[in-house]
Amino acid sequence: MKRRWPIWICFLLPLAWAVIVVGSCSNNQAAATADSSARSPFLNLNDSVGYVGIETCRGCHSDKHSTFTHTGMGESFGLATREKSAARFQQKAVYDAKRNFYYWPYWESDSLRILEFRLQGRDTVYKRIETIRYIIGSGQHTNSHFWVDGNTLYQAPLTYYTQEGKWDLPPGYETHNTRFQRKIDLECMSCHNAMPHVKKGSVNAFDRLPMGIDCERCHGPGELHVAQKKAGILVDTRKQADYSIVNPRRLPWSLQVDICQRCHLQGNNVLKPGKNFDDFRPGMKLSDVFEVYMPRYENSDYFVMAGHAERLAMSACFIKSNQGIETEAYNPGTHLTCINCHNPHVSVKQTRLDSFNQQCQQCHQAGSSRSSLHRCLLSPAEQKRNPKGCVSCHMPASDTRDIPHVTVHDHRIQRPQSKSQALVSGRALDLYAVNNPNPSPAMLAKAYVSWFEKFDPQEFWLQKADSLMRAYPEQMSLELRIQLDYMRHDDRSLIQRAQGLELGQTDAWTAYRMAKAWDRSQNLDKALEAYKRAYESLPLYSDFGAEYANALIRAKRLNEAQTVLSTLLREQPKNEWLWLNQGLLASLQGRSSEAITAWNRLLELNPDHLEGHLYLSEWYERLGKTGAALMHAEAAFRAHSNSQEAEKRVVRLRSLNP
Ligand code: HEC
Ligand code: HEC
Ligand code: HEC
Ligand code: HEC
Ligand code: HEC
Ligand code: HEC
Ligand code: HEC
């Protein structure tokens, strides 16, 4: 059986059938105050304290600001300007041989554009141009590119790999090129930016989209602190903490690590009930907001790019130094956390390797404060074979498993490993929560289902979820059971469970799953109610709107369908599914040229769209234009050689068009 490696979350690709269900986060309900924040002495953990932005901090802390803005975090996100881009532009177009598309980035005055095109011989037979609005990634490793449809955010299919100085498809796209369709949601944006805010009713439209990670992501919201300082309320911070703002150094070591691993931990992030990705504030326990699940392999030593925190946590240095209780105050003399080695206000590019080596020596050298610890087994002369010192042998830069053309440093500090030792072998046996040694059965079950959904669609994971649900029935929500039924295509069971839910109270995703089950069971009336609920809960989420409109069309409620489609098309004029249904609707209303225009609009966005070609072929055939009908049937078959419907059409139309 083919094994899929966990795809680095930054480049997580929705599986084809899961486009909609990925990112099924809860509605942004007012979060109940988390346990850890209620206990914290820091006053800015409270929901009522607002964010003020980096420019405000700059006013009084210009020293921190001046270096921080040149770090990877300070430059993590921005408008696509010539200054922001790290790329060189004189290169051949990138070719995706699988899908037969070329990609070419270029500047047109100050706008960055990406051209997607297809050749036949020397002729360009198709092209689409999108303007890039934002660049994600400081360029220390990569620049990836976002475009917007109306207000909604999508990734573009081209990435610049700085370390090799080349353009290529984004990671993961080489096997599954989703072109311009990958939605950028809060999960993604909240690791790469100051606190963003998703527009109500949407998943990938933002009404607050700052320009890069800022001070408050590590210090918490600053409103109260600024108000106090302006009012002259000062604290002598050499003697005591200023509780109006979080200084991570003053936190217990585990809460301090939680700040960094809020973002530097890659895995399957599973939200606690009622929580969302913007609920974490520095000083909270990360596991109060979400748990991060990783697979455990039979023989495991793999390592992924955003996995710094997980890798460090596997090191004897980390485990043995932080053996004390979690709430113990951080002490750099005994504990080991990220900030022993990193000053987050200064980039690693500006940090001499020596300063890292000194950290090793503080613990591992004779005469150091911790001279009982082991020393290097190599003699000083042998160590000198690598003039860059301890870290170059014990924290080597390696390829990451899931990103091509990128190297990062392995943060698992250990005896040097040979390349073959470092490879994963065996199969994934289980999942574990990196930031919670004792996850609840409900969270673990949720993790299994979403792992199946997002990373590894093997029945094995659903079986694990199922047995947990049987063992702890009273702890499992109906929504989670419905999700499991949905993954298993067990419509009968799903419908039975749905009886226990009030449709008006369900979240959009559960409603959608119910709609699908009813729809497949030929109960269009029930399905319509549930599609409507999904649509009305997330009215700017075009996928739900398109499905609702489609069901309305099938129920012959054409005027209502038109309202949904027109509203959404005004917001997102480049959505394929909306145009497909718009064409269908117009054709049913006998507006022939409008139908053709809508379907052609769809094919301009996606020249390989199966249904688009088939509908057009059928329509032209009805109009007696069998030549055009054949052309579209052939195009459908070229792009989808496994479609029997396309094949049958081609054969039949060829017999009509000798
Ligand atoms: C859990 C937090 C998290 C999520 C979610 C996440 N990323 Fe990342 N990403 C990171 C971290 C941390 C790094 C830096 C890793 C390093 O430097 O070694 C990174 C690195 C990157 C880089 C390379 C930056 C550079 O130049 O070094 C890009 C581009 C990127 N991510 C894009 C994305 C996109 C697009 C998404 C969502 C679709 C996403 N990421 C989701 C945490 C995350
Ligand atoms: C009006 C001036 C002013 C502004 C604006 C300001 N600070 Fe401060 N900050 C201070 C002063 C003065 C201190 C030291 C004395 C104190 O804490 O009372 C301080 C201390 C701190 C500390 C150390 C607290 C401790 O316990 O060690 C942190 C962290 C901090 N500021 C972060 C920020 C951040 C982040 C922002 C932006 C959200 C910000 N500050 C905005 C004036 C300001
Ligand atoms: C809001 C999410 C977030 C938080 C919180 C966060 N990081 Fe990062 N960090 C990132 C991302 C994303 C990148 C990669 C940015 C890029 O290069 O585009 C990064 C890059 C870095 C880098 C390399 C870039 C450089 O120029 O040095 C270091 C080191 C780092 N982080 C350390 C830390 C430490 C230590 C903490 C905790 C005190 C922390 N980070 C907290 C998201 C975060
Ligand atoms: C990636 C996390 C991170 C970000 C982003 C960050 N800080 Fe800090 N900050 C820390 C940590 C960790 C400490 C404690 C460092 C130490 O004592 O070793 C700290 C300490 C401080 C202090 C108090 C200690 C001192 O050295 O004066 C101030 C003030 C401060 N930061 C201001 C800022 C400002 C202003 C920004 C934005 C321009 C910012 N920080 C961005 C993590 C961060
Ligand atoms: C805060 C103290 C501390 C720092 C800093 C530190 N270590 Fe350690 N390290 C330890 C402890 C504690 C152990 C486990 C006890 C022992 O092996 O003596 C350990 C174990 C190790 C081991 C043995 C690992 C194994 O799996 O048996 C190696 C190798 C090592 N450290 C190398 C390094 C290097 C290289 C650095 C710098 C990059 C470093 N350490 C930084 C405390 C530290
Ligand atoms: C024992 C020292 C040490 C500790 C502890 C440590 N780092 Fe690093 N880190 C390094 C070194 C060394 C580099 C490579 C610096 C260079 O390229 O010059 C690095 C680089 C990085 C980078 C840049 C990308 C890369 O891999 O080269 C990120 C991001 C990062 N560290 C995050 C973290 C986070 C998050 C933590 C805590 C979970 C952490 N580090 C703890 C030593 C450390
Ligand atoms: C040229 C590469 C190289 C350099 C440089 C190097 N080491 Fe090592 N180190 C090794 C190797 C190889 C081993 C394991 C030897 C073995 O397994 O017999 C080792 C073992 C260790 C151990 C484990 C001891 C044990 O009993 O498990 C520690 C601790 C350690 N090194 C710390 C350091 C520190 C601190 C530095 C910098 C002062 C350093 N090393 C520099 C290659 C290096």
- Note the pLDDT tens digit of each residue in 448-498: 999 999 988 999 999 999 999 999 999 999 999 999 999 999 999 999 999
CA of 306 to the centre of ligand 3 (A): 10
Answer for the pair 270, 293: CB distance below 8 angstroms, yes or no. Answer: yes
Mean pLDDT within 286-299:
88
Average pLDDT, rounded, for the chain? 90
Structure tokens at 55: 């420019």
Ligand 7 binding pocket, CB closer than 6 Å: 357, 360-361, 364, 374, 376-378, 383, 385-386, 389-390, 393-394, 415-416
Q: How far apart are CA 358 and CA 245, in angstroms?
A: 30
Ligand lying closest to the C-alpha of residue 73: 3
CA of 225 to the centre of ligand 2 (A): 6
Question: Which of 364, 367, 370, 368 has the alpha carbon at shortest distance from 391?
Answer: 364
Which atom in ligand 5 lies closest to the alpha carbon of residue 374?
18
Q: How many CB atoms lie within 10 A of CB 158?
A: 24
- Reply yes or no on whether the pLDDT at 348 is more than 60: yes
| Residue the block writes with tokens 């207000």 | 151
Ligand 2 site, residue 392, Cβ cutoff 6 A: no
404-to-20, 136, 167, 359 alpha-carbon distances in Å: 27, 17, 11, 31
- Reply yes or no on whether the pLDDT at 88 is more than 90: yes
Question: Which of 272, 295, 274, 294 has the alpha carbon at shortest distance from 285?
Answer: 272
- Note the pLDDT tens digit of each residue in 250-277: 999 999 999 999 999 988 999 999 999 9
Mean pLDDT within 412-431:
72
- Radius of gyration, alpha carbons of the chain: 27
With b for 16 or more beta-carbon neighbours within 10 A and e for fewer, the 104-137 pattern comes to bbeeeeeebbbbbebeeeeeeebebebebbbbbb
Burial label, 368 (beta-carbon count in 10 A; 0-12, 13-18, 19+): middle
- Give the model's pLDDT for residue 9: 38
- Give the model's pLDDT for residue 619: 97
- Give the model's pLDDT for residue 1: 25
| Test site for ligand 7: of 383, 394, 412, most ligand atoms within 8 A of the Cβ | 394
Of 401 and 510, more confident = 510
Burial label, 197 (beta-carbon count in 10 A; 0-12, 13-18, 19+): middle
Q: How far apart are CA 208 and CA 196, in angstroms?
A: 5
Q: How far apart are CA 251 and CA 258, in angstroms?
A: 10
Mean pLDDT within 369-387:
83
- Note the pLDDT tens digit of each residue in 38-76: 789 999 999 999 999 999 999 999 999 999 999 999 999
CA angle 337, 388, 263 (to 5 degrees): 30
Under 8 Å CB-to-CB from 384, ≥6 apart: which residues? none
Ligand 3 site, residue 363, Cβ cutoff 6 A: no
Question: Percent of the chain, pLDDT > 70?
Answer: 89
- Reply yes or no on whether the pLDDT at 641 is more than 90: yes
Q: How many CB atoms lie within 10 A of CB 525?
A: 9
Ligand 6 binding pocket, CB closer than 6 Å: 260, 264, 308-309, 312, 336, 338, 340-342, 348, 353, 356, 359, 391, 395, 408-409, 411
Ligand 4 site, residue 220, Cβ cutoff 6 A: no
Burial label, 385 (beta-carbon count in 10 A; 0-12, 13-18, 19+): exposed
Under 8 Å CB-to-CB from 406, ≥6 apart: which residues? 141, 142, 161, 163, 305, 399, 400
Torsion of CA 551, 555, 559, 564, to 10 degrees: -10
142-to-269, 305, 401, 598, 627 alpha-carbon distances in Å: 23, 12, 16, 37, 47
Ligand 2 site, residue 60, Cβ cutoff 6 A: yes
- Reply yes or no on whether the pLDDT at 646 is more than 80: yes
Of 518 and 24, more confident = 518
CA of 367 to the centre of ligand 7 (A): 17
Q: How many CB atoms lie within 10 A of CB 387?
A: 8
Q: How far apart are CA 59 and CA 74, in angstroms?
A: 17
CA of 245 to the centre of ligand 2 (A): 7
- Give the model's pLDDT for residue 419: 60
Backbone angles phi, psi at 334, to 5 degrees: -120, -40
Ligand 2 site, residue 242, Cβ cutoff 6 A: yes
CA of 394 to the centre of ligand 7 (A): 7
- Note the pLDDT tens digit of each residue in 570-629: 999 999 999 999 999 999 999 999 999 999 999 999 999 999 999 999 999 999 999 999
Structure tokens at 214: 């800022």
Under 8 Å CB-to-CB from 530, ≥6 apart: which residues? 503, 511, 512, 514, 515, 518
- Note the pLDDT tens digit of each residue in 182-228: 999 999 999 999 999 999 999 999 999 999 999 999 999 999 999 99
Structure tokens at 342: 């990193």
Question: Which of 153, 106, 150, 100 has the alpha carbon at shortest distance from 129?
Answer: 106
CA angle 73, 351, 305 (to 5 degrees): 50
- Give the model's pLDDT for residue 396: 87
- Give the model's pLDDT for residue 286: 97
| Test site for ligand 1: of 8, 9, 10, most ligand atoms within 8 A of the Cβ | 10
- Give the model's pLDDT for residue 633: 97
Q: How far apart are CA 66 and CA 70, in angstroms?
A: 7
Ligand 4 site, residue 283, Cβ cutoff 6 A: no
Q: How far apart are CA 512 and CA 533, in angstroms?
A: 8
Ligand 2 site, residue 38, Cβ cutoff 6 A: no
Q: Which long-range contacts (CB under 8 A, 24 or more apart) does 126-133 make?
A: 126/607, 128/180, 128/604, 128/605, 130/156, 130/180, 132/80, 132/156, 133/79, 133/80
Answer for the pair 105, 87: CB distance below 8 angstroms, yes or no. Answer: yes
